[in-house]
């Protein structure tokens, strides 16, 4: 099915790498017109429209996951390519991020609604030097939705910030996010600090973020790597089981 939203079809023309173009257009093509409109308004940074369309789509019966995947994340994928290729700059990305947050404000309560027993306590933060928080916040939303108690320590979090939060909240799992190749090593530094403090066995540590890979996670000594917010939940569940096994000897 062709992309019906003219503005979005035009935006896709900025994605000139054939592999990327195929990937993103295949993600957009099957989506409903209102999702394409949402993706477009996010790209152009129109937060009031994203806010309105999100509410409208929820009323129309679209699920929170559809809104996230078909609308917001498809838009953000094009923003990412345009930013990398110097077609837009930090201010434009910030207004797109603001539009993303406007949509997420309606989606979050739905994804987080869960009456389940707490599945475990998780500390989530973006590592030192890194201010990207959209992916971390998505993971937090999904973790809360799956019944975890999550303490968000925010961005630019030092190893000590993670340690203090684990001690304060008696957490089981630590999740670290990094979006910059220059800040990824701070994941390893944080893990080393847990070791130095004699606290490494108290928690299980998972890492993620666009540039992070399983190999990198292994190298840093993390216990798990997750590629996306759904995997963050799966990994957190696995780590809780692992921790219980470890503690029971």
Task: Give the footprint of ligand B12 on this chain (CB under 6 A).
Answer: 76, 79-80, 83-84, 90, 93-94, 97, 129-136, 138-139, 175-177, 179-181, 206-211, 226, 228-229, 231-232, 235
Among candidates 158, 136, 107, which has minimal Cα distance to 209? 136
Rg of the chain over Cα atoms, rounded to whole angstroms, equals: 19
The residue whose two tokens read 């498809």 is: 74
The least distance separating ligand B12 from the CB of residue 45, rounded to whole angstroms, comes to 11
* 32 or 93: CB nearest ligand B12: 93
12 neighbors 24 (Cβ within 8 angstroms): yes
The residue whose two tokens read 């190749």 is: 181
The least distance separating ligand B12 from the CB of residue 74, rounded to whole angstroms, comes to 11
Q: How many degrees, rounded to 5, is the angle at CA 221 between CA 216 and CA 231?
A: 65
Q: How far apart are CA 24 and CA 80, in angstroms?
A: 11
For 117, which DSSP code? Answer: P
* 79 or 220: CB nearest ligand B12: 79
Kindly list the distances between the CA atom of residue 234 and the CA atoms of 55, 142, 223, in Å, as whole numbers in the listed order.
29, 10, 13
Q: How far apart are CA 158 and CA 125, in angstroms?
A: 9
The least distance separating ligand B12 from the CB of residue 249, rounded to whole angstroms, comes to 27
* 33 or 89: CB nearest ligand B12: 89
SS3 state of residue 238: helix
* 33 or 154: CB nearest ligand B12: 154
The least distance separating ligand B12 from the CB of residue 72, rounded to whole angstroms, comes to 8
The least distance separating ligand B12 from the CB of residue 176, rounded to whole angstroms, comes to 6
* 16 or 181: CB nearest ligand B12: 181
């Amino acid at each position: 099915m062709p992309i019906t939203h003219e503005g979005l079809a035009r935006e896709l023309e900025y994605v000139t790498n054939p592999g990327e173009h195929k990937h993103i257009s295949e993600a957009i093509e099957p989506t409903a017109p209102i999702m394409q409109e949402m993706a477009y308004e996010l790209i152009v940074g129109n937060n009031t429209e994203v806010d309105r369309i999100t509410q409208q789509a929820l009323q129309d019966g679209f699920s929170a996951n559809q809104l996230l995947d078909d609308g917001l994340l498809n838009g953000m994928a094009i923003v990412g390519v345009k930013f990398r290729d110097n077609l837009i700059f930090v201010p434009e990305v910030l207004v797109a991020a603001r539009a993303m947050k406007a949509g997420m404000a309606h989606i979050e309560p739905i994804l987080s609604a869960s009456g389940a027993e707490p599945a475990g306590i998780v500390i989530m933060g973006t590592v030192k030097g890194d201010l990207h928080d959209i992916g971390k916040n998505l993971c937090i939303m999904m973790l809360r939705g799956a019944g975890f108690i999550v303490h968000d320590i925010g961005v630019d979090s030092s190893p000590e910030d993670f340690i203090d939060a684990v001690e304060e909240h008696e957490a089981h799992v630590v999740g670290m996010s990094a979006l910059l190749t220059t800040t990824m090593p701070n994941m390893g530094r944080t893990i080393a600090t847990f070791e130095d403090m004699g606290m490494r066995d108290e928690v299980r540590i998972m890492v993620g973020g666009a540039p992070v890979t399983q190999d990198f996670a292994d190298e840093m000594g993390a216990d798990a790597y997750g590629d996306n917010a759904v995997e963050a939940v799966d990994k957190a569940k696995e780590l809780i089981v692992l921790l219980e096994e470890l503690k029971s000897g």
